């Protein structure tokens, strides 16, 4: 059932993802959408669109807003340079002028089969002729080109992001004209990023940075001061930038709150999107669902299984990587990945599961605490028990030892088997006493620690005494002690503890050495330290065990399998005592060759 929890977690994540995907997150998504639009480098322009603008300076230069007479003149100048098409965005109904001027303008427009006037109104099927201007302008073809800030999908904030391509099976002006430049947009099937909305087909436009299209001044055009390259074969849009009428401006992804873009520039963007066929391709819903699901599963697992910092780093880099990929896809392949749902999924899954994780962690640490408490209590009991028992054993042992001595020293002759038996009893009691002393020391360290009783001592003297005590043991195994003791300064040490340190090392050397070998015991002073070494030619210690031999109750593999007895406490106590003196102990050893233990003690203790 190991898979059950991960499976349940994943299922939960998928359910959360599913519900998140049902939410309309237009506000968040439009923010991500606009940032991508605004921060991607602009696409190279088709160079087929130009603007002729009437602005405040034009009014100043011409002594008033241009009337139909001037418009007719401007149109003449433009049309003389063979534009691909002329599209009037300025509201022709609002332009003033005498009947003659109007007729003059109308006749100028009739000379160009590709002259259009775009209006915001939509002509439905069966309504043809609705969008007609009054005479004498009645023959000017009117085309609808409404802005799409229709308060609906991704446009609630009044920002224009979409354009109409086809309404009730009729193509709008933009794809119609662009289709003559780029044949791809003549058929609906090959228009990139087409979406069905209500009764229409629409496209999310690729906006250029404001000011990207070449802009000519109306007054310059009237005076014939215009660059022919900016007119020839181009769609020339004539519009207003008078900053008077709200109608003339729109919000775009580049200008969400201030800095409106003119309606004329919006139309330029519509033409450009169609000419380049660069409408944005929205990711299908199932892919959004899949990505949100995967991200939710990842978040849930990261929150529940990883350490918090690592989790945040992984989630942060996933979110960042995801945003980066979506940015690149947007820029290079015109693909628009939904970011709001996956990001919301990360956020919700994270905050939903953090409390759960905290509860689990809390329970774990409580259990751990309880277990630890129990273990400490057991450990204390064990130490106390060992201490008590060893202490109680010491007295009868001392008695046996004493009695044996009395019998040995008795003048009555003993038979040789009796003497041998007595020797054995004496030796065993000594061994047992030593063992119990070790255990008692251990119990003391564990319960209350050891207090140092420092005296100024020549360590060589202690060494010689320990060697002397072990000589009998060494002789039995024909082991020879070689002493190389340099004269030493006396240093403050606890003589009892030092005796135990050296005894442990020298006894071990004897215990773990074969017969007829040598043990070198040396002392020296170097770099403000007294250095004592005990080197044997014994069985050595396997490399894997070297790091553990100073741990309590540890015995190396080869020692365990040999006949040599031991508690595994000697070196633990040795290191403890050496460190109490601010010293250090090291070992070097190679199996079969021997071991060298080095004790370093500072000459000055502080
Ligand atoms: P023990 O009572 O088992 O000797 P110690 O704590 O004194 O316990 O030593 C721990 C272990 O270190 C020993 O069991 C043995 O495996 C290894 N050891 C210690 N001294 C030597 C040595 N001189 N030569 C080989 N192994 C040694």
Task: Residue 350: name the closest of 295, 282, 421, 399 by CA.
Answer: 295
Q: By percentage, how much of the chain surpasses pLDDT 70? A: 97
CB-based burial label for 255 (10 Å; 0-12, 13-18, 19+):
middle
Closest-CA residue, ligand 1 atom 12, reads 549
**Rounded average pLDDT over 222-226:** 92
Mean pLDDT of 326-330: 93
Helical H runs in 306-339?
308-333
Range in 11-20, 297-306, 397-406 the model is least confident about: 397-406
Cα 406 to chain centroid distance, Å, stands at: 79
Q: What is the mean pLDDT of residues 298-309?
A: 88
Contacts of 528 (CB under 8 A, 6+ apart): 602, 603, 604
**Ligand 1, residues at Cβ distance < 6 Å:** 504, 508-509, 512, 536, 538-541, 549, 554-556, 559, 566-572, 595
Distance of CA 125 from the midpoint of ligand 1 (Å): 102
Helices (H), strands (E): how many in the chain? 17, 21
| pLDDT at site 605 | 53
For 536-589, what is each residue's pLDDT tens digit? 999 999 999 999 999 988 999 888 888 888 888 899 999 999 999 999 999 999
Structure confidence at residue 415 (pLDDT): 82
Interval 11-42: pLDDT, tens = 988 998 999 999 988 888 888 999 999 888 87
Q: What is the length of the chain?
A: 606
Please answer whether residues 363 and 310 qualify as being in contact, where contact means their C-beta atoms are separated by less than 8 angstroms. no
pLDDT higher at 247 or 350 = 350
549, 575, 591: residue to mutate for ligand 1 pocket, most atoms within 8 A of CB: 549
Distance of CA 309 to the CA centre of its chain: 8
Q: Is the pTM of this model over 0.85?
A: no
For 552, the token pair is 């309590």
Distance 555 CA to ligand 1 centre (A): 6
Evaluate if residue 8 carries a pLDDT over 80: yes
Q: For residue 290, how far is the Cα from the chain centroid?
A: 22
Task: Band the pLDDT of 168: cuts 50, 70, 90.
Answer: confident
H helices of 410-494, in order, are 416-447, 459-476
- Atom 20 of ligand 1 has which residue's CA nearest to it? 508
CA distance linking residue 512 with residue 558, whole number of Å: 10
For a ligand 1 pocket test, name from 505, 540, 555, 590 the mutation site with the most ligand atoms within 8 angstroms of its C-beta.
Answer: 555
């Amino acid at each position: 059932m190991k898979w059950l929890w991960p499976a349940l977690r994943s299922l939960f994540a998928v359910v959360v993802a599913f519900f998140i995907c049902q939410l309309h997150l237009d506000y968040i998504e439009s923010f991500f959408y606009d940032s991508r639009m605004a921060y991607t480098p602009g696409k190279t322009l088709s160079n087929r669109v130009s603007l002729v603008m009437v602005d405040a300076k034009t009014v100043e230069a011409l002594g008033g807003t241009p009337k139909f007479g001037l418009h007719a003149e401007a149109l003449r100048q433009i049309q003389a340079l063979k534009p691909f098409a002329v599209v009037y965005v300025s509201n022709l109904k609002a332009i003033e002028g005498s009947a003659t001027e109007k007729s003059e303008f109308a006749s100028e427009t009739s000379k160009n089969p590709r002259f259009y006037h775009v209006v915001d109104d939509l002509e439905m099927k069966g309504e043809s002729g609705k969008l007609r201007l009054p005479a004498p302008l009645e023959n000017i073809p009117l085309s609808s080109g409404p802005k799409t800030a229709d308060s609906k999908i991704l446009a609630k904030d009044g920002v224009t992001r979409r354009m109409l391509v086809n309404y009730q099976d009729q193509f709008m002006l933009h794809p119609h004209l662009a289709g003559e430049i780029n044949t791809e947009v003549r058929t609906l099937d090959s228009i990139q990023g087409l979406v069905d909305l209500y009764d229409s087909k629409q496209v999310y436009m690729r906006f250029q940075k404001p000011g990207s299209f070449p802009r000519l001044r109306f007054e310059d055009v009237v005076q014939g001061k215009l660059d022919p390259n900016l007119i020839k074969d181009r769609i020339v849009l004539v519009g207003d930038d008078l900053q008077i009428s709200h109608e003339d401006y729109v919000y775009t992804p580049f200008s969400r709150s201030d800095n409106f873009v003119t309606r004329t520039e919006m139309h330029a963007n519509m033409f450009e999107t169609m000419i380049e066929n660069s409408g944005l391709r929205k990711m299908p819903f199932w892919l959004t669902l899949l990505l949100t699901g995967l991200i939710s599963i990842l978040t849930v697992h990261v929150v529940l299984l990883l350490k918090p910092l690592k989790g945040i780093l992984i989630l942060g880099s996933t979110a960042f990587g995801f945003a980066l990929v979506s940015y690149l896809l947007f820029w290079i392949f015109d693909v628009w990945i939904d970011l709001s749902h996956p990001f919301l999924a990360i956020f919700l899954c994270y905050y939903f599961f953090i409390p759960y994780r905290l509860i689990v962690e809390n329970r774990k640490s409580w259990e751990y605490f309880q277990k630890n408490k129990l273990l400490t209590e057991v450990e204390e009991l064990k130490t106390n028990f060992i201490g008590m028992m060893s202490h109680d054993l010491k007295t009868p042992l001392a008695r046996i030892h004493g009695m044996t001595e009395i019998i040995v020293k008795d003048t009555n002759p003993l038979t040789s088997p009796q003497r041998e038996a007595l020797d054995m009893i004496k030796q065993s009691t000594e061994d047992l006493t030593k063992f119990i002393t070790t255990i008692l020391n251990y119990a003391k360290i564990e319960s209350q620690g050891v207090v140092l009783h420092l005296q100024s001592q020549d360590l060589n003297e202690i060494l010689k005494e320990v060697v002397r005590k072990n000589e009998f043991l060494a002789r039995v195994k024909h082991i020879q002690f070689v002493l190389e003791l340099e004269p030493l300064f006396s240093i403050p040490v606890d003589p009892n503890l030092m005796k135990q340190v050296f005894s442990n090392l020298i006894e071990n050397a004897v215990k773990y050495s074969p017969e007829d070998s040598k043990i070198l015991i040396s002392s020296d002073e170097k770099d403000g330290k007294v250095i004592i070494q005990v080197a044997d030619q014994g069985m050595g210690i396997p490399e894997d065990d070297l790091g553990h031999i100073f741990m309590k109750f540890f015995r190396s593999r080869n020692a365990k399998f040999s006949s040599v007895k031991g508690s595994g406490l000697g070196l633990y106590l040795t290191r403890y005592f050496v460190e109490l003196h601010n010293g250090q102990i090291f070992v070097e050893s190679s199996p079969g060759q021997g071991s060298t233990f080095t004790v370093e003690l500072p000459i000055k203790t502080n």
